[in-house]
Chains A and B, each alone.
Chain A
């Protein structure tokens, strides 16, 4: 018997002697065999230590005398102090793992009692084997199930954003967390596919600014990351682990370094990082596709705006400063990213609704007659049909349609009030009014100063304008970047 077999048998016996099935067996046997003590010997007849019971019984004194007599069957014998003992071999397959001894029986057991004890012993052994199998299964499956659940959670965390910068940062942070590492970096290949561009670098102890030399691009084939990106093969080193981000081609690499507890990275962690990288690639690809889609949408809107502008400059569109102002208010009001994108689309085409309104009404100074006002209302809705075929603009249409509504319900086209008006439209109404007041347009009244315009907005808070949007706008005006938003208009 070699050392590992010996160790395996020893471990089996220790576990068996401590198992719940053996406690039941012992209590049954104490009834069958009339209050005996129970002990375990290994296959070389040495007592198995558990809780000092064997030492107490001083088994060693008589083991030497009886050990040659042990058989594969049960045996009744007298120990050194002359008392009756009973032994059973513990058999697994074809080998004897050890012996169970019942010591100092009050009388010699009858054969029926021995047989019953033997049956109990076999049952206890079978029960223990089942327990062992279950434990093994639990120990093998549980860590993998937890790892799988972790990957599923990561998938949920990654798929909840389409913003590339946010996504890359999130992937890096989650990698750092899962790998228990001190550093993590994510690099993506540039368009030429010759360089890796660091997109996120995280260090547990310090923030790495984008200006840090570590953010320098890496030529393919150089350094660990460059080699992984070139070969497409993961690398597992003692203190570093690097995995390629592969869709159809390699799009980048993800790497982690130095575990927080100083231990080396292992194959299980490599497996986890590979799976995490697969999730990351899907999320990155989705974000890239979304970015492309957004670019196309903006390009289409700008083309449309340019077309409208060519008919009558500054009638259907507003300045870039107006767009910035609208977005700044939206950020102050903490609108969701999706709402901000839709508001951005609307701000690029705010007055598409004026398209079919006759110029003499559009550019008329002073107040409108009720007939002219009715024409505006009708044509405003008609004009919006121009853009309703563009699917991506559909969520923006209610904002464009309702940005002439007033908070108290006296605006047009539908006389909506308060929260009935889309929040984007309430924001646009504030920025629109401000821009109109501080700019000199031929068909508008005299322009007023920024502070007067702000006072005017405050005065109409709750009647014409949403108080929350006005307050957010006032907060924007206190920011240093507000000067840039004013541009040439003020």
Chain B
């Protein structure tokens, strides 16, 4: 995982992380997530792809649907929680 601060310079990525930190049980599509947090669906999709690459978000894919959820990695979650607390 890259430096969180650098990653979160992207506004959409920041919003997604705040959202998942607040709703860790959530699984939703990019469109669904963009409805919860606002912002353009394309920007949210791009940010989600980046977060999946970084291992912060996991994707569940079928032929017709891609859904995203927060990582179960305890260390990553703790790091993000700490960052959000200090923001």
1/0 contact string of B14-28 vs chain A (CB within 8 Å):
000000000111111
B77, CB-defined interface residue at 8 Å: yes
Q: With A and B bound together, what is the CA distance between A179 and B24 in angstroms?
A: 9
Q: Is the CB of B60 within 8 A of A173?
A: yes
* Chain A contacts with B in 158-178, Cβ cutoff 8 A: 160-161, 170, 173-174, 176-178
Q: How large is the interface on B (under 10, 10 to 19, 20 to 34, 35 or more residues)?
A: 20 to 34
Q: Is the CB of B27 within 8 A of A174?
A: yes
Closest-CB distance, A350 to chain B (whole angstroms): 28
Q: Is the CB of B62 within 8 A of A161?
A: yes
* Chain A contacts with B in 321-344, Cβ cutoff 8 A: 336
A157-B72 contact given A150-B27, A174-B27, A272-B25, CB 8 Å threshold:
no
Closest-CB distance, B84 to chain A (whole angstroms): 14
A27, CB-defined interface residue at 8 Å: no
A177-B23 contact given A149-B32, A156-B64, CB 8 Å threshold:
no
Interface centre among A149, A176, A261 (most CB of B within 10 A): A149
Choose from B32, B60, B74, B77 the contact partner of A174 (Cβ within 8 Å). B60
Q: Is the CB of A153 within 8 A of B67?
A: yes
1/0 contact string of A394-409 vs chain B (CB within 8 Å):
0000000000000000
Contacts of B28 in A (CB 8 A): 146, 149-150, 153
Interface of A is mostly: helix
Q: How large is the interface on A (under 10, 10 to 19, 20 to 34, 35 or more residues)?
A: 20 to 34
A157-B26 contact given A176-B72, A204-B72, CB 8 Å threshold:
no
Closest-CB distance, B40 to chain A (whole angstroms): 19
Q: With A and B bound together, what is the CA distance between A272 and B32 in angstroms?
A: 18
A82, CB-defined interface residue at 8 Å: no
Q: Is the CB of B36 within 8 A of A157?
A: no
B63, CB-defined interface residue at 8 Å: yes
Choose from B29, B62, B65, B77 the contact partner of A261 (Cβ within 8 Å). B77
Closest-CB distance, B2 to chain A (whole angstroms): 22
Per CB-CB distance, the 7 closest pairs between chain A and chain B, nearest first, are A160-B62, A177-B69, A156-B65, A153-B67, A150-B27, A153-B27, A146-B23
Q: Which residues from chain B sit less than 8 Å from chain A, CB to CB? A: 23-29, 32, 36, 58, 60, 62-65, 67, 69, 72, 74, 77
Q: Which residues from chain A sit less than 8 Å from chain B, CB to CB? A: 143, 146-147, 149-150, 153-154, 156-157, 160-161, 170, 173-174, 176-180, 204, 260-261, 269, 272, 336
Known: A146-B23, A156-B64, A178-B69. 17 other contacts (CB 8 A): A146-B26, A146-B28, A150-B26, A153-B29, A153-B67, A156-B62, A157-B27, A157-B62, A160-B63, A161-B62, A170-B60, A173-B60, A174-B60, A179-B25, A180-B25, A261-B74, A336-B63
